[in-house]
Structure 1
Amino acid sequence: MKTKLTRIALLLAAIPLTPLAMAQTKEETKKAVVKEETVVVKEVTVIPAPGTLAAVINDSVTFSILAKALKAADLEATLGDLKGSYTIFAPTDEAFMKLKEGTLDKLLLPENKEKLRSLLMYHVIPGQFISSDLKNGEITTANGEKVEIDIKGSTVEVEDSKVSKADLIVKNGVMHSVGKVIVPKSLDGFAGLDED
């Protein structure tokens, strides 16, 4: 009889522990699953609206370095948006190649992103200006600094860089090609940039 009672007592004592033990096992399993979960971070690709400044730059072999720089500076979305209107003095690949050796590589480093943005936005004027709209004097750029425009007959110069191809009108603005990377005063001397 004692043996029967002992067995029953042991069985009764074990019953309340079983759900607790099972709960702990389930929780430990959940923790193990959570620890093994892999987080996948997808890189967001910005696709500029067709016919925008960013799309035209991306599709042109003449502006491949500018396209790469715009992407590195997170400016593709700005110049690829139909909501804004901009005028860009777009440096050609040849213009970027005129920079001192190593300058472009340094500008493209992630830690220099803000400097690159400032440099690129110095080539952008809010609003749409075809060459006949431009006047002699200074105009404020998208980086907040002023750029000098010089009109000599039918020739337009921006900071002593001649506009080689003017008035490419697109859905969100106008593009003028320039043969020199123009440098704002705030970046003069950084990574070999100068205002020669």
Structure 2
Amino acid sequence: MVEAGHKPRRAPTEREILDAALGLLDTGGRPAASIRRIAAAVGVAPTTVYTFFPDRTAVECALIERLLGAVRIGGGGSWREAVEAIALDLRQRLVAHPGVVPLLLSGPLDGPHAQRIADCLLELLGASGLDPRSAARASYALMVFVLGAIALETFDAPRAMIGRAGPDRYLWGLRRMLDGVEAEAKLH
């Protein structure tokens, strides 16, 4: 029963719950994004969050997929330019939300958007001239570099300093990796 003068609260959306979780992750890291705190940030009881997600792990997986789903792939240009564009877009999104970085590093990236990026990288690396096995190895090495470099940039850095150095060091390392891919492709 609703008290006189009070409107019933509308049910939150999945997007609102994920927005709240992302905000908590960004400001307080993984410990801050408990189901209770997410619910409080949205202004609902924890059981309401459970109607959307069975547990905190599901919230975290949904955040990862939402972030990866926003990464732009398939731009024009050479295979190198396309790989750089993906890597730069991913860096930009993760630097903006450093609380998601530990989530990416804590488990397999096996959701549909992660798979979309992996498939695109394999296709682009195949276009470089690598055979399928070498393209798979190069894709793995690139993702290790990309996620590792982003983790080093965001971990233990004061929030005000994250991303301030710009992508120059990141691009330098990425381009050396791509130089290696080109050299390997010439051997095939």
- Do both share a fold (TM > 0.5)? no
* Structure number with bigger Rg: 1
More helix by share: 2
More strand by share: 1
**TM-score bracket for this pair, using the shorter chain length:** under 0.3
TM-score calculated relative to the size of structure 1: 0.25
TM-score calculated relative to the size of structure 2: 0.26
